[in-house]
Amino acid sequence: MRLRLSTSARLTLANSALLAVAFGALLLLVTWLADRFMAGHVQESVEAELRIMESEFNVDGVHGVAALIEQRMLIVSPNHDRLYRLEGPDGSLLAGNVMAWPAKAPAPEQPFKMPSRRFPGVTVVDLRWAGLSDGSRLLVGFDEIEVAQVRGDIRRAALWSLGAMLLISLSAGFLLTRAALRPVEAIRRAAQRIMEGDLKHRIPVRSGGDEFDRLGETLNTMLDQINRLIASVRGATDNIAHDLRSPLTRHRARLEAALRDAPPPDQLQPWIEHNLADLDKVLATFQSLLRIASVESGLLRQEFVTCDIAQLARDAADYIEPLAEEQQQQLVVQVTAGAPLPAHPHLLFQMLINLLDNAVKYSPPGGAIVIDAHATETGWRLAVADTGPGIPLDERGRVFERLYRLDASRHTPGLGLGLSLVKAVVDLHHGTIRVEDNRPGTRIVIALPFESLPNDDA
Amino acid sequence: MRILVVEDDADIAAFLCKGLREAGHAADHAADGRNGLFLATGEAYDAIVLDRLLPQMDGLSMLAALRATGSRVPVLILSALGQVDERIKGLRAGGDDYVVKPFAIAELLARIDVITRRGLMPVAESRLRVADLELDRMARVVKRAGEVIALKPQEYRVLEFLMRHAGQVVTRTMLLEGVWDYHFDPQTNVIDVHLSRLRAKVDHAPWTTLIHTLRGTGYCLREPQ
């Protein structure tokens, strides 16, 4: 079974475990050092006792030593196990509490250990012996009770402090990580609200500017972008509803009328063709709206390739030229070669066709149309000018709206979508577009930058 | 010709089969991809009209499976997905042509004509000739009744396309796709203007008319009957 833990809990536990391991290692080191120090200390005491006994022997002889041993055995505390044996050259016990010479005793002045008989299992006794000059032997042993006690004390203290440290580290860690991760929870809650339908809601961003704030800002920008896309789709659907309903209503009315009163057989063919043409226009409008929406989505930026804009402009002019010629209009192509530009060739071609088509449509017979394309330091400048009636100043901003027609009576053919697509294509390339007065006529000027600004995703 | 229609929409399928039969073809219908693949591998068809969005097995998967069996039958993909990249995807999967819904039956028939004759056409022929109209692809020279006619590059390309498809119906969309390097919506009747200009140069009186306009469909360049 896998235990699922929050990030906060995982971080805290990992941190505490690390601390505990480090603390354990420290504890082992301290215990080992204390052991060594204490054991050395007992051995030194044993040796010092031997030296004292030897001095006593030098002053008062064997009897002095025996008296000293007796005296020592009287004052030894009941919590200690101290061993003494003074034996004569013949091996007889002269003083002390060790009945027989230990079998495992090594050479004189060599420390050795034996289990304590008084506290078996609890401690050991450190021993050492020395030969006296008259041939008698002196054995002294002190217990290591204190070593065990100190070791126990250290362990207890360590366990307590380990417990306290773990408690502090766990609680502090939990509180700290929870505080640090609080923005994540805030982001989650904000996302929840947005999912529940509050599309205007945004992730709260503090002024600190840390990683979470930057994440929040990026997410907010993303949400804004999504909102814009939704709005553009919604705008497109609104206009579809508005502009497609009327021809469809007409179409429906005609069909209904035919159901009641069928057109005479000789008029049936033109009647059907009329209806088909109507439907085709509806479908064309629909197609154009979808296309504009897809261009506005920005997804087509993935299809950008390096384009020769001069060639594109010449191709577009070539394509439109017969149309201008038919109107006895003069098509002037002013194109100079320049650096290539990453762009969507099909959409740029479509954009130029739309502009040129408009120019031909609105210029009077015998008028002039100028297409101008040249590279500047920052990008390409494209301009299409006509000698038509021009666009009034107050309407120049509105001509890029979907289905907007200058000619309110709609005498000239067209869907009112050509310039919307132009605007969408310009936006796709992070360019700018403006309408100028050509005196007489209109000049539409487009600037396409070489370097697309990454934040300018409008 | 024997043609298989793989289309799940019953109305569109009936419309397609009727249109194909009226044009003198025999039409079979499969309503889903699996059935379509079964028929396409079991029977010998001259062409397949294939919808992209199908139940059981989508059109492109069916096409891939069909091509994997080694079949080279011409396939015309029919789809509501009209984006350029969708089109490329369709052609890459082994389709011979791609028609976007909604479509006119005349467009579809013209394109079926082209993809079924593709194998028979001498692609690399350097000299095209229809009646007394001649086009030398090496020298890029056009002659009518022996007289050299100067054409602009664009006019030349349109004429070359028509002559390569001599005797077949060429729709406006086919001309757009075949002559211009861009995939675009032609707006107004620019194509017709191009054609009338071309006609004024290579097909005017007293010569016999070779380029015919088919109302609501497109054009056809053919020998006089």
Alpha carbon distance B142, B136 (integer Å): 6
Instruction: Give the count of domains, chain A.
Output: 3
Q: What pLDDT is stored for residue B188 in this prediction?
A: 67
Shortest Cα distance from B145 to chain A (angstroms)?
A: 25
Q: What pLDDT is stored for residue A365 in this prediction?
A: 92
Q: What pLDDT is stored for residue A277 in this prediction?
A: 82
DSSP A394-444: GGTTGGGSTT--SSTT--S---S-HHHHHHHHHHHTT-EEEEEE-SSSEEE
Judge whether B221 and B166 are in contact, CB under 8 Å: yes
| Residue range(s) defining the domain that contains residue B59 | 2-120
- The pLDDT tens digits for B94-104 are 899 888 888 88
Percent residues over pLDDT 90 in chain A: 19
| Residue range(s) defining the domain that contains residue A243 | 202-297
Contact B180 A319 (CB under 8 A): yes
Same domain for B56 and B151, yes or no, is no
Same domain for A291 and A317, yes or no, is no
Pairing outcome for strands B147-149 and A341-343: unpaired
Residue B188 carries which DSSP code?
A: S
Picking from A283, A320, A350, the nearest residue to B102 by CB comes out as A283
- Chain A partners of B186 at a C-beta cutoff of 8 Å? 353
Longest dimension (CA), chain A: 159
- The pLDDT tens digits for A397-456 are 777 766 666 654 444 556 667 888 899 999 999 999 999 888 888 999 999 998 755 444
Same domain for B40 and B114, yes or no, is yes
Same domain for B116 and B131, yes or no, is no
Instruction: Give the count of domains, chain B.
Output: 2
The residue from B86, B120, B154 where one domain ends is B120
Same domain for A67 and A21, yes or no, is yes
Judge whether A427 and A356 are in contact, CB under 8 Å: no
Nearest to B62 by CA among B38, B93, B39, B33: B33
A-facing residues of B in 63-122 (CB < 8 A) are 82-85, 102
Contact B153 A346 (CB under 8 A): no
- The pLDDT tens digits for A252-306 are 888 888 888 888 888 888 888 888 888 888 888 778 877 888 888 887 888 889 9
Picking from A315, A346, A357, the nearest residue to B188 by CB comes out as A357
Same domain for B99 and B139, yes or no, is no
Alpha carbon distance B1, A75 (integer Å): 128
Same domain for B33 and B100, yes or no, is yes
Looking at the DSSP bridge assignments, the partners of residue A335 are: A373
Residue B28 main-chain phi, psi, to 5 deg: -110, 155
Alpha carbon distance B6, B43 (integer Å): 14
Give the length of chain A.
458
| pTM score over 0.80 | no
- Chain B partners of A273 at a C-beta cutoff of 8 Å? 216
Q: How many helices (H) and strands (E) does chain A have?
A: 7, 12
- The pLDDT tens digits for A3-21 are 667 777 888 888 889 988 9
Same domain for A293 and A313, yes or no, is no
- Cα separations in angstroms, B90 against A82, A162, B61, B76: 101, 69, 10, 9
Nearest to A331 by CA among A355, A296, A300: A355
Q: Read off the CATH number of the domain in which A130 is found.
A: 3.30.450
B-facing residues of A in 281-300 (CB < 8 A) are 283, 287-288, 291, 294
- Cα separations in angstroms, A329 against A219, A271, A356, A385, A386: 53, 36, 12, 13, 10
Same domain for A314 and A258, yes or no, is no
